[in-house]
Amino acid sequence: MGLLAVFLWSASWSGAGEPLPLNALVAEALRVNPEAQAARARWEAAKERPAQMRSLDDPEVGLMIDMVRYGRFLKEPDERGLEFTQRFPFPGKLSLRGEASEAEARAAGEAYQAKAREIAAKVKEAYWELYFAQRSIELHFKLLDLLHQAERITQVRYATGKGMQSDVLKAQTEITRLHHVHLLELEQMQRSARAMLNALLNRTPDAPLGTPAPPTLQPLPHPSEALQAMAKDRRPEVRAAGEEVARRESERALAEKQYYPDFTLGVSPWRTWTEMGPEGAMERRGYGVRFMMSLPFAFWTKPKYDAGVREAEAMLREAQRMREAMRVETAAMVADLYAKHERARGQAERLERAVIPQAQLTVEATRRSYEVGRVDFLSYLESQKMYVDQEVEHARALMEYGKARAQLERVVGVEF
């Protein structure tokens, strides 16, 4: 089986076809992924709360009808009237409620951004895993093609009396092992990567996908320390933690405002009838005003508000510590991912520029040496496997490079 035929058969078997654009996959995932949609819905719901929190309570209206006077019933009501009342919180309470809910809405927005970046990073990771799986399958058949070439050489040498039958059997055994053992592992790797990517795209696990392209090796635009500083300001999770602190500060100020009274104002137009004798009753009209004030500083209610202030202060301290912990964790994650990125990039560059070309030369040299009997078959076989192993390691390094870069973009909060 020629190398070109093997590659064509492999592409047909793996479902590969059109190139698989990474940016389009990320955009699609952000549009259709259920988790992203749910996070966006939570954000949109949270944005509607500030207007509710800043609004006054509903006004109330009451009707009063007095049917009794001096212990007897009248033919007509003696007095009737409507009362309109409105409760007014102490100045500043409504604005603090609004500020707290606005901070909560901003935190929900940052949570949505964090979820979007998380999904984008997962799509990229699954993409690079699918690339590695398909590239490994290509290299598998490349090794098979080399082994078929080696088998033909051993048969020619055995037929001319220059080789041994054991060399032919070794080549055939290795071909059989690759077909029935190694290929199954690679197929499972490919199916898993495809299923994960399709799940992120809200598709069925076996939906067809195109062929991933290898990443282009590029250095990071900033050193590790600069990226750590950027992440502390731009990572959505850190920004959400900051908004949580702002929310708790407003809630603490609101808890302190609970010591101040609320007011209720009522207005009641009324009319009444006064008996005048044989001529009938005289109607009188007027307006009444009612003013009421709550007493939160009463000795039997003040402990409740004291506890509310202590609770708000404790929640504020928690939010501040969580923000500090998030910043420390972010710096550590950036440093770790930066090291992984640079290690994978350096390894991929060394393999591509030096190791793989040397391995190719070694295969050609050992093949010629084996044909003339200068090296044994195992040396020739080992040189082929070593060459393909280096190609696999190169694909693995590219995958690790792509995954580390995707995670760095998620943590730092910017695209590189």
pLDDT in tens, 22-55: 999 999 999 999 999 999 999 999 999 999 999 9
Return phi, psi of residue 205, to 5°: -60, -30
Sheet holding 263-275, edge to edge: 60-66, 79-88, 263-275, 281-293
**How far apart are the C-alpha atoms of 252 and 318, rounded to whole Å?**
13
Q: Which candidate, 387, 238, 256, places its Cα nearest to that of 323?
A: 238
Residue 67: strand, helix, or coil = coil
- Residue-wise pLDDT tens digits, 199-235: 999 999 999 998 999 999 999 999 999 999 999 989 9
Give me the numbers of helices (H) and strands (E) for the chain, helices first please. Answer: 12, 8
pLDDT of residue 280: 57
Which of 230 and 368 is assigned the larger pLDDT? 230
Per-residue confidence (pLDDT) for residue 260, from 0 to 100? 93
Q: Inform me whether the pLDDT recorded for 6 exceeds 70.
A: no
Per DSSP, the three-state class of 2 is coil
Nearest to 294 by CA among 256, 260, 257, 255: 260
Domains and CATH numbers, the chain: 3-412 (1.20.1600.10)
Decide: 2 and 145 in contact? Cβ < 8 Å.
yes
Does the structure show a pLDDT above 50 at 4? Answer: no
Q: Measure the CA–CA gap between 331 and 411, rounded to whole angstroms.
A: 9
Q: What number is the average pLDDT over the span 399-405?
A: 97
Task: Determine the residue type at 343.
Answer: R
Distances 128 to 23, 121, 151, 337, 395 between C-alpha atoms, Å: 13, 11, 34, 16, 9
Q: What is the dihedral angle through the alpha carbons of 201, 205, 206, 209, rounded to the nearest 10 degrees?
A: 20
Lowest-pLDDT range of 116-120, 123-127, 293-297, 348-352: 293-297
Residue type, 164: M
Banded pLDDT at 270 (limits 50, 70, 90) = confident
Q: Which residue type sits at 134?
A: Q
Q: Higher confidence at residue 172 or residue 57?
A: 57
Rounded to 5 degrees, what angle do the CA atoms 271, 273, 278 make? 155
Does an H or E element contain 65, and which? strand 60-66
Specify the residue for token string 């592992």. Answer: 185
Question: pTM for the complete prediction?
Answer: 0.81
Question: How many degrees, rounded to 5, is the angle at CA 393 between CA 389 and CA 399?
Answer: 145
If 0-12 CB within 10 Å is exposed, 13-18 middle and 19+ buried, where does residue 128 land? buried
